[in-house]
Structure 1
Amino acid sequence: MNWFWFLLFSFTSAFVLTALLRRYALCKSLIDMPNDRSSHSIPTPRGGGVAVVVTFLVALSVLLFKQLIPVDLFLSAIGAGAFVAVIGFMDDHGHIAARWRLLGHFAAAIWALCWIGGLAPISVFGEHVNLGWLGSILAAFFLVWMLNLFNFMDGIDGIASIEVITACLGACVLYALGDADHLVWPALLLASSTAGFLLWNFPQARIFMGDAGSGFLGIILGIVTLHAAWTSFMFFWGWLILLGVFIVDASLTLFRRLIRGEKVYEAHRSHAYQVASRRYRRHWPVTVVVGGINLLWLLPIAVCVTWYGLDGVIGLSLAYLPLVLLAIKYEAGQAEAG
């Protein structure tokens, strides 16, 4: 298979589909109107992330046909990913109660775990521990958290797409160094599909991703992370490090809001990246910095974990400490004044 043309095809398909979805959103009046809880000031169509969903799932089917990915990964991703995307698409068109969304998210997570086998034996300080059924429960919560944190973090132009692209390309570096070339294809395809949408969403958003796209990206990243852990748990640590910006900001924000007794499922503007975008009065510098952190800070640490033998817990702590300090600096989770 000519990998260059295949990736170019996925990129172009996502770009063209996004254009069509933008026209559809305008015709159906699927418009996000600015309010006091949003980070935008211009009415903008939403739902463009469906282009990434369709492109990636079709490309994944081609990979299965070419025997470049295992059946378990395909069934896990196409079943859980499509279900989450449908839930998000329905929510984009008309509100779905949070409890029903959450139930659907856990159903998707359980489906995914049935095929990929739950959580691989963890590797901590040189010890390997099989958590059994407890590991499967933790893995389910991990998948649900991943898809929801992407919903939370998709709030300014380009940030979710840049996170996906840089994390996936970083993971490909880890796979190449770790002689795990068989894991590369899904990450490359997710990056190329997302890049096709990015051109419509950055530096000035002409269409938003919507819950269908952001939730899909979150659960697919969670699935490829758990799947890679069965090859080597060091890849699991590597993915957690690469996704650190989103994980830290979303987790700290959620924790602080829970402590204050707020309804965490309600829209707000208290994530660190949202505060930063208001301070600088622009979205693109924040998005560019996130990409820079991923490639210049998090990727080298992930390489040290997967290639040079740095313990995963130590590497994760080293990677996250500055991110926590940055999130605190930009008041992640603090109540908005006024």
Structure 2
Amino acid sequence: MTIWWLLPAMAGVSLFLTGALRRYALARSLMDIPNGRSSHSIPTPRGGGVAIVLSFLAALPLLASIGVLAWPVMWALLGAGGWIAVVGFLDDHGHIAARWRLLAHFIGAGWALGWLGGLPSLVIFGFDLELGWLGYALAAFYLVWLLNLYNFMDGIDGIASVEAICVCLGGALLYLLLGEGAAALAPLSLAVAVAGFLFWNFPPARIFMGDAGSGFLGIALGVLSLQAAWVAPQLLWCWLILLGVFIVDATWTLFRRLLRGDKVYEAHRSHAYQYASRQFGKHLPVTLAVAVLNLFWLLPVALWVGLGGVDGAVGLLLAYLPLVWLAIRFKAGERE
């Protein structure tokens, strides 16, 4: 049975749902109002990321039922992704204290890791490391950090959508080159679900993703990266490389703010991409630059690692060095 028809169908559903959510947000005055820490200048509807959540999660049981997605992975994505999206949706419509959000994030990560079986053995500089329970802890912090950094990085039009599409397409290409074509359908499905939303979110955005969408994308990409590691150990390095733009900017910014003693849970405008968007005076050049970095720098390095041309840790360091330079160049973490 062919399932490729599902991809354009998911894109269409996501496109339609995002338009419906925009009308709903306008009718209910669910608007993102610009303030001193915003990167936009006009009130814009929010919550459109729910379209990504619904269209992707609805496809998961079908992918599992025809055997192209393992049932444990399906339950990991469905349970953790749905839970994080609900928490984000509630936060979009009101406010949940940071400590309760963080607890909810670890619950979601724990659910996902329970179904995935934790973190597989890692290959670092040619050595196999079996981490056992320490691997569970590291993987939990990894998932929680990824979903939070995705929320931090969703600050200008289209950037979070473009990043997710590029990462998923890169991950799917790696599966295809390694002869794991069926496994490619999960990241491809997420990519097309995001593409339907991106039609409305591309600069200048007509609706924002909201915490429900950004948190969901963070945990979904994290789960997909851990699933890839179970398929082939080097693929975890590949996914970390593909996610490099967001990981480096968010982590470097957090590090600088921690050193300065800032309250890291408070909103701010000190990420490199935010400084860059103000320097260029618009969002589009920065969003397109992220796509270019992903496709013409990070993807080739990830393919090099995935096909066995270089050790994963070495490839990661090579891939991240220019990104660290860009973070410093655009003042990531510096006080405005």
TM-score by length of 1: 0.98
Aligned to 2:326: 326
CA shift, 1:196, in A, is: 0.1
Deviations 1:64-90 (A, max 9, x none): 222221110011000000000000000
Secondary structure of the structure 2 residue equivalent to 1:313: helix
Deviations 1:23-54 (A, max 9, x none): 11111111000111000001000000000000
CA shift, 1:3, in A, is: 4.0
Taking the aligned partners of 1:134 and 1:42, their CA distance within structure 2 comes to 46
Aligned to 2:88: 88
Secondary structure of the structure 2 residue equivalent to 1:189: helix
Aligned to 2:18: 18
Structure 2 unaligned residues grouped into runs of 5+: none
Number of residue-to-residue matches in the alignment? 336
Taking the aligned partners of 2:314 and 2:4, their CA distance within structure 1 comes to 37
Aligned to 2:59: 59
Aligned to 1:300: 300
Deviations 1:307-330 (A, max 9, x none): 033001100000000000000000
Aligned to 1:280: 280
Deviations 1:262-301 (A, max 9, x none): 1111110000000000000010110001001001000100
**Structural mapping, 1:305-320, within 5 Å:** 305-320=305-320
What is the one-letter code of the residue matched to 1:313? A
Secondary structure of the structure 1 residue equivalent to 2:156: coil
Aligned to 2:239: 239
TM-score by length of 2: 0.99
Q: Mean Cα displacement is larger for which, 179-188 or 317-326?
A: 179-188
Q: Mean Cα displacement is larger for which, 202-211 or 2-11?
A: 2-11
Aligned to 1:115: 115
**Structural mapping, 1:7-46, within 5 Å:** 7-46=7-46
What is the one-letter code of the residue matched to 1:188? L
**Structural mapping, 1:228-267, within 5 Å:** 228-267=228-267
Secondary structure of the structure 1 residue equivalent to 2:206: coil
CA shift, 1:231, in A, is: 1.3
What is the one-letter code of the residue matched to 1:184? A
Secondary structure of the structure 2 residue equivalent to 1:40: coil
Runs of 4+ off more than 4 Å: none
Taking the aligned partners of 2:220 and 2:150, their CA distance within structure 1 comes to 11
Aligned to 1:204: 204
Aligned to 2:132: 132
Aligned to 2:71: 71
Q: Please tell me the root mean square deviation across aligned C-alpha atoms, in Å.
A: 0.8
Secondary structure of the structure 2 residue equivalent to 1:16: helix
Structure 1 unaligned residues grouped into runs of 5+: none
CA shift, 1:56, in A, is: 0.1
